[in-house]
């Protein structure tokens, strides 16, 4: 089939939004509440097409659908193309008090960012100087009730320095979103990353979370964090 119809695109956006919010498979009744003006049966037919195209999956025959990597990537790419991320109201995040040195101020901001976004935060003061925080926030997410998912992230933590060193050159001043197989941190997760510049050095800061992360909110939070770093450090 290839190109999605406008209704299929809208359904996919709604399904991703609902899944990010609830972490549960999304049924046609939940999607009907978004006001598409069609019957639940029509919604189910459209969902079947999205499933055939590899955007979503049905974990159990009696359950709703969940977005797959292709579905997340489509929605994020569509929002970026329409500059929807730039229209979203900025979340509030407490500005850290001035610290004695740039590294301490950056670490303080990273901890606040992790607590607000409820994901892990990675800071690279250079390709060989890495700081991480927020993994306890990340592991509180529903995905990590499964041992396999937690074990995969545990392996990532063990090789974090090597992964950041390899990824550092890919990061630009523009905020990038890496999802699944395109993500150097691993196919089971997503990252929102950017390069920042201060008077003393250039570095990288990024948010690392499950595929079911709130991309719009985390994009806005990272934008605030970058601007704050470049002001206070």
Q: How far apart are CA 169 and CA 192, in angstroms?
A: 15
pLDDT at 100: 65
From the list 51, 84, 56, 85, the residue with the least C-alpha distance to 69 is 56
pLDDT band at 85 (very low <50, low <70, confident <90, very high): confident
Same domain, 168 and 149: yes
pLDDT for res 184? 95
CATH number of domain containing 111? 3.30.450.40
The domain that contains 15 carries what CATH number? 1.10.10.10
The pLDDT of residue 89: 66
Whether residues 78 and 97 fall in one domain? no
- pLDDT, mean of residues 161-182: 95
Q: Give the residue from 15, 2, 22, 29 showing the smallest Cα distance to 65.
A: 15
- Cβ within 8 Å of residue 203, ≥6 positions away: 106, 123, 124, 125, 126, 195, 196
The pLDDT score that the predictor gives to residue 98 is: 58
Question: Of 82, 113, 128, which residue is a domain's last?
Answer: 82
Percent of the chain with pLDDT over 70: 94
C-beta separation of 72 from 50 below 8 A: no
Domain that holds residue 148: 88-232
* Mean predicted lDDT score pLDDT of the chain: 90
Mean pLDDT of 211-220: 94
pLDDT at 178: 97
How many domains does the chain contain in total?
Answer: 2
Q: Per the domain annotation, does 58 fall within a domain?
A: yes
Residue 1 above 60 pLDDT? Answer: no
Pick the closest to residue 106 from 218, 153, 178, 114 (CA basis).
Answer: 114
pLDDT, residue 90, reads 66
């Amino acid at each position: 089939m290839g190109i999605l119809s406008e209704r299929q695109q809208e359904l996919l956006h709604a399904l991703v939004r609902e899944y990010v919010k609830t972490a549960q498979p999304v049924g046609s009744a939940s999607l009907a509440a978004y006001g598409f003006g069609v019957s639940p049966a029509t919604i189910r037919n459209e969902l079947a097409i999205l499933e055939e195209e590899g955007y979503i999956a049905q974990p159990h025959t009696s359950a709703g659908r969940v977005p797959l990597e292709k579905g997340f990537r489509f929605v994020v790419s569509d929002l970026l193309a329409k500059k929807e991320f730039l229209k979203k109201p900025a979340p509030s995040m407490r500005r850290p008090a001035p610290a004695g040195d740039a590294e301490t101020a950056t670490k303080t901001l990273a901890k606040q960012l992790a607590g607000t976004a409820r994901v892990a935060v990675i800071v690279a003061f250079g390709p060989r100087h890495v700081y991480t925080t927020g993994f306890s926030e990340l592991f509180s997410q529903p995905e990590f009730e499964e041992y396999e998912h937690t074990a995969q992230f545990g392996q990532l933590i063990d090789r974090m320095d090597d992964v950041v060193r390899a990824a550092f050159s890919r990061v630009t001043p523009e905020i990038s979103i890496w999802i699944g197989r395109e993500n150097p941190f691993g196919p089971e997760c997503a990252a929102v990353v950017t390069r920042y510049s201060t008077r003393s050095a250039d570095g990288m800061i990024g948010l690392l979370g499950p595929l079911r992360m709130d991309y719009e909110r985390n994009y806005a939070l990272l934008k605030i964090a970058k601007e704050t770093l470049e002001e206070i450090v």
